[in-house]
Amino acid sequence: MNSIAQQLKTRFEKAFTSAFGESYADTDLMLAPAGNPKFGDFQCNAAMSLGKKLGKPPRAIASTIIENLDIADICETPEIAGPGFINLKLKPAYLEAQISEIAADTRLGIEPVKTPQRVAIDFSSPNIAKEMHVGHLRSTIIGDAIARTLEFQGHDVIRINHIGDWGTQFGMLIAYLREVHPQALTTADALDLGDLVAFYRQAKQRFDADATFKETARQEVVKLQAGAEDTRRAWKLLCDQSRREFQVIYDLLDIKLTERGESFYNPLLSAVIADLNKLGLLVESDGAKCIFVDGFTNKEGEPLPLIVQKSDGGYNYATTDLAAIRYRIQNDKAKRIVYVTDSGQANHFAQVFAVARKAGWIPEDVEIVHVPFGLVCGEDGKRLKTRSGDAVRLQDLLDEAIVRTRQDLENRLKAEERHETEEFIASVSRTVGLSAVKYADLSQNRASNYVFSYDKMLALQGNTAPYMLYAYVRVQGIRRKGEIDFDNLDASAKVILQSDAELVLAKHLLQFNEVINAVGGDLLPNRICQYLFELSQKFNQFFEQCPVLKAEEPLRTSRLMLCDLTARTLKLGLDLLGIQVLERM
Ligand code: ARG
């Protein structure tokens, strides 16, 4: 089903053609939701620029448009305001029919896209032998929400975990463990990730201070790259240990990913260099192989090279990313490639994309985008840290959210003199706590930094997960109280939109389609949050102003339909954000 904006657009395009001729069919209609409900629901502001072009007064142009506009089934008679704005007010009968149509559809009237694409989304991507930190939380949550939205639109999404599982740091770590804790390299589960991180730190210190150790570490890298069996086995064990702990977090957050770490591309790296060489793009500088592309300079304004092979023959993060681009285009056949990382990597990606483009590896019909996000900050406005100044472990942060939710819940139950089972309390705390963390992150424009505050994200009021979940629970409360079977409401019943609150809610329900389309384009999941927040507010107003169970028929069934449609919209929207609804809370 086409969104209201699309339906209006079609009508206007026809009017433009019949009023001004074929060549005006794709004039920019400047059709937008009205800024102020006083002026109606939509506005067409094209008469002003058209007036200039045609040398006629805009108000006269606006009348000509209206005379040619066949729109009586959708809107009241259009009005011309000010210099030549055309104001449109949707007819309740039209809205009623539209609402009935989306209510009867499991996808709420949102059709899959006409041309589904294969999309590769590179997200989460933590590093082996390092803990996942809040930056990876953002990448994971934002990447998952984008993946869910595109999947819902009907795209074929590959969710890639580009884990940092390769590189010189492994030589260092293995060399160090051989000395101090050799059994970790031969036995599974000998270390947990915390130990591994500590060893990693010690190894790094040793590496920086001791030249002999540095050489031993380098030897290990060579052995690893050459596939020496014991070094490989050691490396694999280290990866498995980290992987196990990443999986705990993915399970907790309900995240599905396919691991294809940096090591996957190792066999493809020499061909990247060879091909760049054939293209004549490689420049040697101090023994390293580099590429220069226009527009990239360092702080001093000098041309900034992308180093693809170090003087010792080792490859870089960027080399792997070049190989990954080729693989995703050639083997995965991806038509859109999306990278979700912090904005600190914006230059890296811009430069890698520019090199790949210069090399001719990105065909015209492939879109490649970096989806950057800002920092998670503490209450002090600086990067979130623990008291001791370390990066916050993701696991601790999520556990804390669940514990705090539980405290709030227990207090509320006490105040309301409600008795609930331990099972209920545990499951509600978990769902609400995790949802709150996800929602707080997703509700911000991802490009900005945000302040991490348990108090704010757990508040029952405001643009928070609990507020949204509560609106859903409200509808389920009505269902239980009235013993309503929403799936089997009177099939002949119609939605009736009488009061303002009903009309406002209905108009909002009909905008979800547009929001999903927008997110599919600009990959900003906060649009969904904002939409759901406004939906919850409008629903609560409706609920306060319009009796539901106590209303007379046919209003009663009509209002039940609005309640159910709101709940289903909330459920779908939250699902696209990776958030589960609750029946009670
Ligand atoms: N492992 C990197 C990090 O922790 C993120 C990888 C992002 N993906 C990529 N293809 N470079 O910062």
The string of pLDDT tens digits covering residues 398-412 is 999 999 999 999 999
pLDDT for 484:
97
pLDDT tens series, the chain, 585 aa: 888 999 999 999 999 999 988 888 777 889 998 988 888 999 999 999 888 888 999 999 999 999 999 999 999 999 999 999 999 999 999 999 999 999 999 999 999 999 999 999 999 999 998 888 888 999 999 999 999 999 999 999 999 999 999 988 889 999 999 999 888 888 887 788 788 888 888 999 999 999 999 999 989 988 888 888 888 888 998 899 899 989 999 999 999 999 999 999 999 999 999 999 999 999 999 999 999 999 999 999 999 999 999 998 889 999 999 999 999 999 999 999 999 999 999 999 999 999 999 999 999 999 999 999 999 999 888 889 887 888 888 899 999 999 999 999 999 999 999 999 999 999 999 999 999 999 999 999 999 999 999 999 999 999 999 999 999 999 999 999 999 999 999 878 899 999 999 999 999 999 999 999 999 999 999 999 999 999 999 999 999 999 999 999 999 999 999 999 999 999 999 999 999 999 999
Instruction: Kindly list the protein residues whose Cβ atom lies closer than 6 A to any atom of ligand 1.
Output: 122, 125-127, 162, 164, 321, 324, 339, 341
Ligand 1 atom nearest to CA at 341: 7
pLDDT for 130:
84
pLDDT for 132:
87
Cα separation, 339 vs 124, whole angstroms: 10
Ligand 1 atom nearest to CA at 342: 12
Ligand 1 atom nearest to CA at 348: 11
Residue 227 Cα to ligand 1 middle (Å): 24
Which pTM does this prediction carry?
A: 0.94
Residue type at position 42: F
Run of H or E including 216:
helix 211-226
Ligand 1 atom nearest to CA at 321: 10
pLDDT for 347:
95
Token pair belonging to 473: 């629970």
CA distances to 299, 303, 323, 324 from 271, in Å: 32, 25, 9, 12
pLDDT for 300:
93
pLDDT for 169:
85
Residue 341 Cα to ligand 1 middle (Å): 7
Mutation to probe ligand 1, out of 321, 345, 351, 369 (largest number of atoms < 8 A from CB): 345
Residue 389 Cα to ligand 1 middle (Å): 23
- Coil, strand, or helix at residue 62? helix
Residue 487 Cα to ligand 1 middle (Å): 45
pLDDT for 410:
97
Mutation to probe ligand 1, out of 124, 258, 341 (largest number of atoms < 8 A from CB): 341
- Rg over alpha carbons for the chain, rounded to the nearest Å, is 29
pLDDT for 449:
94
CA distances to 113, 375, 456, 533 from 447, in Å: 27, 9, 20, 20
pLDDT for 393:
87
Nearest to 60 by CA among 49, 68, 51: 51
Residue 126 Cα to ligand 1 middle (Å): 7
pLDDT for 344:
95
- Coil, strand, or helix at residue 203? helix
Residue 317 Cα to ligand 1 middle (Å): 8
pLDDT for 192:
80
Q: Whose CA is nearest to atom 6 of ligand 1?
A: 125
pLDDT for 105:
94
Ligand 1 atom nearest to CA at 163: 1
Instruction: Name the one residue in this structure whose structure tokens are 């002090």.
Output: 380
Mutation to probe ligand 1, out of 122, 125, 161 (largest number of atoms < 8 A from CB): 125
pLDDT for 272:
98
pLDDT for 191:
81
Q: Whose CA is nearest to atom 9 of ligand 1?
A: 162
Sequence-distant (≥ 6) Cβ neighbours of residue 260 within 8 angstroms: 160, 161, 162
